[in-house]
């Protein structure tokens, strides 16, 4: 359920390689890399079962439709299996959901059947605008609606995830990204309907999960031992 995120602008090649190794070791759903790193990620992760995702119109969403379509086509040709695109935030705030829908549909077409996750960047939107963005995304054929880039003033919130889950059909997933740094935060958002998570702390969260599962197994084992009758009473 985790898209391991490697999108910070200052990441060096060595840091990207280390992040790709983390995604492979922990079995992430995907690694979401900067467009320039798609080729490297595809080569490094070939055969691992970890898909390569990337971003379009990132992080501000203000590129033209033609630019986003061209970017998508180039990245798909380079091997990207999933596309996270940022909407034209200002146009949605203007009330022009039609333009937003047309742009998403054009990117979906350019992706050629690969999942497109639509980043609404909720920090800038009213609840009404979030709902409108979700509806436009679903009509345009998006696979997911996504809360945030992680580069605005705020990220995923419980209220936003619940609202987005309510605003799309079960056919559309909800991706929570931005500030999902702990296992408890992830599990809370999962209960509210998020089905994919963008995170940089993948290793810490999954190490925490492994420890909890081990503790649970140990507790169950000890509990079972305590409930066994003494040997002479069996």
Measured distance CA(122)–CA(130) in Å, rounded: 7
In the chain the beta strands, taken as DSSP E runs, fall at 2-6, 30-33, 51-56, 82-86, 116-119, 144-146, 173-177, 196-199
> Which of 68, 117, 130, 146 is labelled catalytic?
146
Measured distance CA(152)–CA(86) in Å, rounded: 12
Tokens representing 22 are 């983390």
> Which of 68, 117, 130, 175 is labelled catalytic?
175
> Which of 3, 37, 68, 84 is labelled catalytic?
84
Tokens representing 95 are 């009330």
Q: Is 227 a catalytic residue?
A: no
Cα dihedral sign, 117-122-124-125 = positive
Nearest to 93 by CA among 146, 130, 141: 130
Q: Is 117 a catalytic residue?
A: no
Q: Are strands 116-119 and 30-33 parallel, antiparallel or unpaired?
A: unpaired
Q: Is 84 a catalytic residue?
A: yes
What are the residues whose beta carbons fall under 8 Å from the beta carbon of 17, sequence distance 6 or more? 40, 44
Q: HSE-up of 45 (CA within 13 Å, CB side)?
A: 33
What are the residues whose beta carbons fall under 8 Å from the beta carbon of 176, sequence distance 6 or more? 146, 147, 156, 161, 186, 189, 194, 196, 197, 198
Which residues are tagged catalytic?
A: 84, 146, 175
């Amino acid at each position: 359920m985790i898209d391991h995120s490697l999108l910070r602008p200052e990441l060096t090649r060595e840091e990207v390689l280390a992040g790709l190794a983390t995604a492979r070791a922990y079995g992430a759903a995907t690694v979401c890399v900067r467009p320039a790193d798609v080729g490297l990620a595809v080569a490094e992760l070939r055969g691992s079962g970890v898909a390569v995702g990337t971003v379009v119109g990132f992080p501000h969403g203000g590129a033209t439709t033609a630019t986003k379509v061209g970017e998508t086509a180039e990245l798909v040709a380079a091997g990207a299996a999933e596309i996270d695109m940022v909407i034209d935030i200002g146009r949605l705030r203007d009330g022009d959901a039609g333009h937003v829908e047309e742009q998403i549909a054009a990117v979906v077409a350019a992706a050629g059947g690969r999942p497109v996750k639509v980043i609404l960047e909720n920090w800038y939107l009213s609840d009404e605008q979030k709902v409108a963005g979700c509806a436009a995304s679903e009509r345009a054929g998006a696979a997911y609606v996504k809360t945030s880039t992680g580069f605005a003033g705020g990220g995923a919130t419980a209220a936003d995830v619940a609202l987005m889950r309510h605003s799309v059909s079960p056919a559309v997933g909800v991706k929570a990204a931005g500030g999902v740094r702990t296992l408890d935060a992830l599990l809370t958002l999962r209960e509210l309907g998020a089905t994919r998570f963008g995170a940089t702390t993948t290793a810490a969260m999954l190490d925490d999960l492994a420890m909890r599962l081990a503790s649970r197994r140990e507790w169950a084992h000890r509990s079972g031992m305590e409930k066994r009758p003494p040997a002479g009473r069996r």
